[in-house]
Amino acid sequence: MKSHHLCTGFMRVPNNEAQCEQAGGICSKDHCFHLRTRAFGRCQSGVLCCRTVYD
């Protein structure tokens, strides 16, 4: 019997504005140029979800 490991610790990549905000991101039509942010999913077509990266 195989056990299926669910990745409960990882959020799904956002694909709309609400999911982006839940993930702690902000929507940006430009590249994620803000200090210490990177693209993490998107808010809608052509709009990136930019999320702060912590070291």
pLDDT tens digits along 27-51: 999 889 877 899 999 999 999 999 9
Which range of residues forms the domain containing residue 48? Answer: 17-52
| Number of domains present in the structure of the chain | 1
Q: Tell me the pTM.
A: 0.72
Does residue 1 sit within a domain? no
Does residue 6 sit within a domain? no
Does residue 27 sit within a domain? yes
Which residues partner with 47 through β-bridges? 44
Distance between CA atoms of 13 and 4, rounded to whole angstroms?
Answer: 21
> Model confidence at 4, in pLDDT bands (50, 70, 90)?
very low
Report the Cα 26 to chain-centroid distance in Å.
9
pLDDT at 46: 94
